[in-house]
Amino acid sequence: MVKSLQDTTTLSNGVKMPWFGLGVFKVEEGSEVVESVKAALRNGYRSIDTAAIYQNEEGVGQAIRESGIAREELFVTSKVWNADLGYESTIAAYETSLKKLGLEYLDLYLIHWPVAGKYKEAWRALETLYKEGRVKAIGVSNFHVHHLEDVMKDAEIKPMVNQVEYHPRLAQKELRAFCQEQGIQLEAWSPLMQGQLLDNEVLQTIAEKHNKSVAQVILRWDLQNGVVTIPKSIKEHRIIENSQVFDFELTSEDMGAIDSLNEDRRVGPDPDNFDF
């Protein structure tokens, strides 16, 4: 049972990753990202998820420095963008991210999207960075089962994490089962479906029963399904509220009711059909 914000899941290589973190997608560079990351760290968060394309790595790095929290207590993730996928270019992109963050290493580095014909070379670069001890763990984002199978055909090292869109309307059952079987940790982006589920009656009923918010119920569902989650917010009260999910448990009945909301519906792009 996950008991606190600092609780971790152990990745296939033995690295410990917090079950819960702060995502900073669409959080503006500058004071907005600095303040939201500092608020999260101040309130017990230890995992921060950014990406090169978010263009806020510098602010994330500044917040980490200003927080005064020891680097080894933190778990920092970034991602290589599509334009940089390739062996040399991915290694260069990693260096750039490190420099912007002002860090010596990352805890987790991900391939952001499975660009056809490019992600395998990028994966080789991640394996090199990993073998050189420059990143603690490596993984992918937005990979379907067939992308994972394709990368694993030639990989020396299996992806440790797959970060995908995941919420009650997109329960990713097949992908979740595959990742479990392969020892790949599933991680949710957009766990709250960009707010589109907050007035759902099924979720409201469950929330009232537990005296919790709908957001807290969804985030709890993630955790009880063994999925790492990184909700984004820039408001301190919301950052705190999102993390208050360790003092209650959904029943199997609650879990089933939430599972039944699945429609395989995305708010983000389909990894088989994106053009960026």
- The DSSP code sequence of 34-95 is HHHHHHHHHTT--EEE--GGGT-HHHHHHHHHHHT--GGG-EEEEEE-GGG-SHHHHHHHHH
Both structure tokens of 71: 């680097």
Report the distance separating Cα 128 and Cα 37, nearest Å.
30
Instruction: Answer yes or no: are the C-beta atoms of 22 and 32 closer than 8 Å.
Output: no
Report the distance separating Cα 170 and Cα 26, nearest Å.
21
Taking CA atoms, 249 is separated from 96, 158, 231, 252, in Å, by: 42, 32, 19, 9
Query: At 46, which amino acid appears?
Result: R
Report the distance separating Cα 228 and Cα 75, nearest Å.
13
Which one of 45, 54, 109, 166 is the catalytic residue? 54
The closest of 224, 199, 226, 229 to 214, measured between CA atoms, is 199
Kindly report the CA angle at 189 between 269 and 25, in degrees rounded to 5? 85
Tell me whether residue 105 is one of the annotated catalytic residues: no
Give 176's contacts (C-beta < 8 A, 6+ positions apart).
186, 225, 227
> Which residues form the catalytic set?
54
